[in-house]
Amino acid sequence: MIIRCRLPEAIGNSRQFHEEWTAFLIQLETDGGLFGWGENTFLPHAVSAHVRHRLLPALMGKDPTAVLPLFRAMERTVGYDRRGAAMMAISAADMAIWDLAGRALGVPVATLLGGAVRDRVTAYASGPFMRRGPDPYARYEAEVSDYLKAGFRAFKIRAGIDPAADEAIIRRLRDLAGPDIAIALDINQGYLVRTALELDERLRGLGVLWIEEPIQPDDIAGYRFLAGKMHAPLAGGEALAGLKAFADFLSPRTFDIVQPDLSICGGFTVARAIAALGEANDVPVISHTFGTPINFFASLQLAAVLPEHRLTAGLGYPLLEYDVGENAMRQRLPITPVSADGTVAIPDRPGIGFEVDRAAFEPFIVEHWEEHL
């Protein structure tokens, strides 16, 4: 199904404003009534078509717990589109397959991935976003104050107006939050290489956790140049699909933090390989997590098995991206709240550990289909 919800107010980043969120959701079900859920929030209509016409015929009649053979069967449907909508479709289906396999075996996905090494993970507030008007950063301080009251010890602002404005808001937020709160910036691909370097220079001494996606996601030469010049850690990877795309950035250690999105990168099957590649290069891996609770809970399962990298006392990787914006699709199926210490509990229930109430999505469905093959 494809679901859509209007936002109460447009929110934006350096490149665009959003007035609505959309997502493709897939529910795979066996003849015995077992099921698994997956999602993609970035190209829902293209993903829906690929899942329906290419992936489902490759999956029907197969052992639902055979996650790797099922992935290989889907991989053979890709053709030339190895880093676009086809891989996003595989990501959504793979997420559902792992969820189904966990439910079938009565264990969390983290157990299928090798076993959880933690039962809680520190979350960072994914916000604030820009608002329309003469000062897109005008409400940042009020919103960050709310995050701190809620228990968050880290947050990530959307920035990229210009380096001077970015520096000014970071200085104000650092004064507000104090020295012990982690602050990251997401430029959402809005700068050129030289502008990114100017921003990095302006932020020296302000304790920035990372600068995320300062330039276009496939500009390998640009990222390699930045990696040799920047002082702040360089983060990215949410827009990359397939293991080879991540190898291009991780093998030469271009990123300081790599951020695969389970609904884009290839699902759990590719994410565990990315995690191994990150570990081999001593690069922290943390999920980019946006959309519905399905991707959120899937990301929690991945966070349960990732290696630890200590930053400061009480704070380290992995971190969990936590959408704090108004999103009716998420709020009707609430995600796990943040505790007073800034952490989120990782569920130990089967699959991704989340019981999807399909009826909760009914008000948002704009396209729906079922296949019985």
Instruction: Identify any residues that bridge with 270 across adjacent strands, giving them in sequence order.
Output: none
Identify the three-state secondary structure at position 271: helix
On the question of pLDDT at 360 being above 90, the answer is: no
Same fold, 2-106+357-367 and 111-345: no
Q: 172 or 252: whose pLDDT is higher?
A: 172
**DSSP per position, 17-70:** EEEEEEEEEEEEE-TTS-EEEEEESSSHHHHHHHIIIIIHHHHTTS-TT-HHHH
Closest to 11 measured CA to CA, from 157, 116, 146, 194: 157
Using the structure block, give the residue that is written with the tokens 């559902």.
96
Q: What is the pLDDT of residue 185?
A: 97
pTM of the entire predicted model: 0.96
Please write the tens of the pLDDT for every residue from 46-76. Answer: 999 999 999 999 999 899 999 999 999 999 9
Which sequence spans correspond to the domains of the chain?
2-106+357-367, 111-345
Question: What whole-number distance in Å separates Cα of residue 257 and Cα of residue 253?
Answer: 10
Please write the tens of the pLDDT for every residue from 231-285. Answer: 999 999 999 999 999 999 998 889 999 999 999 999 999 999 999 999 999 999 9
E strand or H helix at 93? helix 85-105
CATH architecture of 2-106+357-367: 2-Layer Sandwich (3.30)
Overall fold of domain 111-345: TIM Barrel (3.20.20)
